[in-house]
Amino acid sequence: MRHTRGLLLAAMLAVPGIGQAFELSEWSTVTEAASGQTVYWSAWGGDSRVNGYIDWVAEQVDARHDIELVHVKVGDIAETVSRILAEKSAGNKREGATDLMWINGENFAAMKERDLLYGPWAEQLPNFPLTAPEQNPEVREDFTLPVEGYEAPWGRAQITFYHDSARVAEPPRNMPALLDWARENPGRFTYPKPPSFFGTSFLKQALLGLTDSPEVLYEPVDDADFEAVTAPLWRYLDQLHPHLWREGQDFPAGGPKMRQLMGDGELSLAFTFTPTAPAAGVLDHQLAPSTRSYYLGEGTLGNVHFVAVPFNAQHKAGALVVANFLMSPEAQAHKQDLSVWGDATVLDMSRLSAEQQQRFEPEGRAAASLPPQNAGTLLREPHPSWIEPLESAWRQRYGSQ
């Protein structure tokens, strides 16, 4: 047994370009192979807080594992997907330029389907059990698709509404109330244009809040009567749009643009995917100090975000070690710190020691802008097959006016 493995190792080492022979089942071989590697991590670079956190991670993995972590900042992760596609088209199977990528559920579904991801590996990471996957199934599914070890969880997101309390005394707490509110406050709310992530998420959130039969949304779209299920959504949007910002003739490009409009005072109500983002926006002088956040009463969409490894990553071992570090109590606690980033942890507190748990306690600054703790019901993401039909139906109705 030992002998054959030695042979296998030798064979792998003989292949040029592979200096990273490792056995997932034996973590020490992974860290050994990872030592001295340079890991290229493609991640959205639009937020200086996120960038600052990734810089900190780079320092840590350098000190702990002798890994040089390079943050490849992209405006849109699709730019990285393009590169991987081009590499696959050109037959580059093991010298890919990307080692680790921060992706969302849609990217994951598409990439996994096209065999563009390396795996399975995530459940073998030593820190994975800290997420207590049996109690928290959401770390094993991304947009209802089983993850099957092809990506590792590293943060949580939930749709959170925020408003300027100096202008809005009582914000709307469900979808019908939002329509009434928009009628009374014309031009002060909008949502990003689908198919941007935020825009499509708003469609799903509204659909979940308006439909009589939310359960069909968790099955593939082909099994449902799309027209009938979505009819309440389109009725609602038809009524809502005339009261939106710019009368629904123009939509912001994404969540960050929406936050900019809030800062400028053009909007007085908006939403984000990071519950702590409004508080962070106050700290960073982007939002009014009177900004307050809340969840909708009917619950809001939430999901876990993940990191994945492309099929042709050149430094897989290094990427796995970084992914494992991202799930460590230390890295997760640092990430959740509002003064650093404020992104919620994926770890289950019951699996941590008392001392480790203490690190996750929130700090005082800008705390008034945080949403109330534990007040938000989490709604699961619908089946990903709904996304495309929703987006194209939206485009058909409102995309060209």
Partner 1 sequence: MTAALSYRLVIRSLPWLTIGLLSLPVFSGLAGALAPAFGWLPALGGEQLSLAPWRELARVPGLNDMLRLSLVSGLGSAAISLAVVVLFLGSFLQSPVYRRLRRWLAPLLAVPHAAAAIGLAFLLAPSGWVMRILSPWLTGLDYPPDFAFPGDSWGLALILGLVIKEVPFLLLMSLAALVQCRADERMTVARSLGYPPLTAFLKTVMPGLYPLLRLPVYAVIAFATANVEVAMILGPTTPSTLAVAVVGWLHDPDLTTRFMASAGALLQLLATLAALLGWWLMERLVVRLSRGWWQDGRRHCGERGWALVARWAMRLVLGLMLLALAGLALWSVAGYWPFPQSLPWPPTLGNWQNAADGLLSPVAQSLAVALGATLLSLVLVLGSLEAETLRRRPLRPGAQLILYLPLLVPSVAFLFGLVMLQAQLGQQPGLLAVILGHAVFVLPYLFLSLAESYRRLDPRWAQQARSLGAGPWRVFMGVRLPMLLAPILTAAAVGFAVSIGQYLPTLLLGAGRVETLTTEAVSLASGGDRRLTAIHALLQLALPALGFVLALLLPRLLFRRRRGLLLSH
* Site residues (CB under 8 A) for partner 1, limited to 44-63: 44-48, 51
Tokens 């949007």 -> residue: 237
> Residue 276, Cα to own-chain centre: how many angstroms?
14
Distance CA 88, CA 319 (A): 19
Among 129, 246, 365, 372, binds partner 1 (CB under 8 A): 246
Of 136 and 290, CB closest to partner 1 = 290
Contacting partner 1 within 89-148 (CB under 8 A):
89-92, 97-98, 104, 106-107, 109-111, 113-114
Backbone φ and ψ for 380, nearest 5 degrees, come out as: -75, 150
CB of 5 or CB of 93, closer to partner 1: 93
Give one DSSP letter per residue of 71-118, joined into a string.
Answer: EEEESSTHHHHHHHHHHHHTT--S-BS-SEEEE-HHHHHHHHHTT-B-
Which residues are CB-contacts of 289 (< 8 A; sequence separation ≥ 6)?
A: 282
What are residue 68's phi and psi, to 5 degrees?
-95, 115
Q: Which is nearer to partner 1, 1 or 90 (CB)?
A: 90
- Closest CB 392 distance from partner 1, rounded Å: 9
User: What's the residue count for the chain?
Assistant: 401
| 328 torsion bin: left (phi>0), alpha (psi -120 to 50), beta (else) | beta
What is the DSSP-derived secondary structure letter of residue 16? Answer: T
Residues 181-220 binding partner 1 (CB under 8 A) are 186-188, 193, 195
Please report whether residue 78 would count as binding partner 1 according to CB under 8 A. Answer: yes
Query: Of residues 26, 62, 76, 180, which one binds partner 1 by CB under 8 A?
Result: 76
Q: Are 308 and 108 in contact (CB under 8 A)?
A: yes
Q: Output 83 or 351, the one with its CB closest to partner 1.
A: 83
> Closer CB to partner 1, residue 111 or residue 352?
111
Q: Which is nearer to partner 1, 130 or 147 (CB)?
A: 147
Shortest Å distance, C-beta 193 to partner 1: 5
List binders of partner 1 among 158-187 (CB under 8 A). 167, 186-187
Could you tell me whether strands 300-308 and 378-379 are parallel, antiparallel, or unpaired per DSSP bridges?
parallel
> Interacting stretch for partner 1, rule CB under 8 A, among 212-220, 225-233, 262-270, 370-378?
262-270
Contact with partner 1 (CB under 8 A): which of 74, 122, 147, 237? 74
